[in-house]
A and B are shown apart, each in its own frame.
Chain A
Amino acid sequence: DQQVKQNSPSLSVQEGRISILNCDYTNSMFDYFLWYKKYPAEGPTFLISISSIKDKNEDGRFTVFLNKSAKHLSLHIVPSQPGDSAVYFCAASVSNYGQNFVFGPGTRLSVLP
């Protein structure tokens, strides 16, 4: 049973518009969440994180929103750029249980020029 779900395998967005990537989790003990971006044949790179004590975290064009009651988080990219085309993974952890993250299956974002 997947504890972290990304129900959209792929998403296409026009350049300059907003990209919204969604992630749902089932384990209510998760209290720390990260988003990673991955290009083909490369390792994932860290994008942004959020702790459960917050409901929003911003870093430049990237904003992550956390809705704890719904066990849902989303990554907003504004404005989207062609270089944002990649697979985005959501990951979750119980922060006082070591450093082990559970990763979602990823969403492939295509930003069209």
Chain B
Amino acid sequence: DGGITQSPKYLFRKEGQNVTLSCEQNLNHDAMYWYRQDPGQGLRLIYYSQIVNDFQKGDIAEGYSVSREKKESFPLTVTSAQKNPTAFYLCASSTIRDPAYEQYFGPGTRLTVT
């Protein structure tokens, strides 16, 4: 089945540690995205990538880093510089087309940092 997988579903880390969230898609989509969701807020874009080996910052990129070495994979690292890392993180992918088309989302990873 085609889709987006994120692992793990729940992740716990101590403050000051970097943590990497996995995102894999087998939809052959060119573009991939990372969002963060906090209670009572919409999804906020952290980073996106429209092609392998290239990515751009979204609205809230500070304290995060990404890589796009393969079309299928777009891991997100939450660094110790991120001041409020506890959140629900969502990865998405889409085709590149005009007009814009829908993004397909993974099941999300809930990160708790204590």
Contacts and interface: CB of A to CB of B under 8 A. Distances in A.
B98 A95 contact: yes
Nearest to A90: B42
B40 A44 contact: no
B105 interface: yes
A99 interface: yes
A66 B85 CA distance: 36
Interface stretch (B14-22, B43-51, B60-68, B75-83): B43-51
A96 interface: yes
Nearest to B4: A43
Interface residues of A, number: 30
Contact of A43 (B40, B58, B105): B105
A100 B50 CA distance: 10
B42 A41 contact: no
B41 interface: yes
A105 B101 contact: no
B50 A43 contact: no
A61 B21 CA distance: 36
A74 interface: no
Interface in B67-114: 88, 90, 92, 94, 96, 98-108, 110
Contact of A89 (B43, B96, B106, B108): B43
A44 B103 CA distance: 9
Interface in B32-56: 33, 35, 40-45, 48, 50
A51 interface: yes
A4 interface: yes
A99 B42 contact: no
B43 A103 contact: yes
Interface of A: 4, 6, 9, 31-32, 34, 36, 41-46, 49, 51, 89, 91, 93-96, 98-106
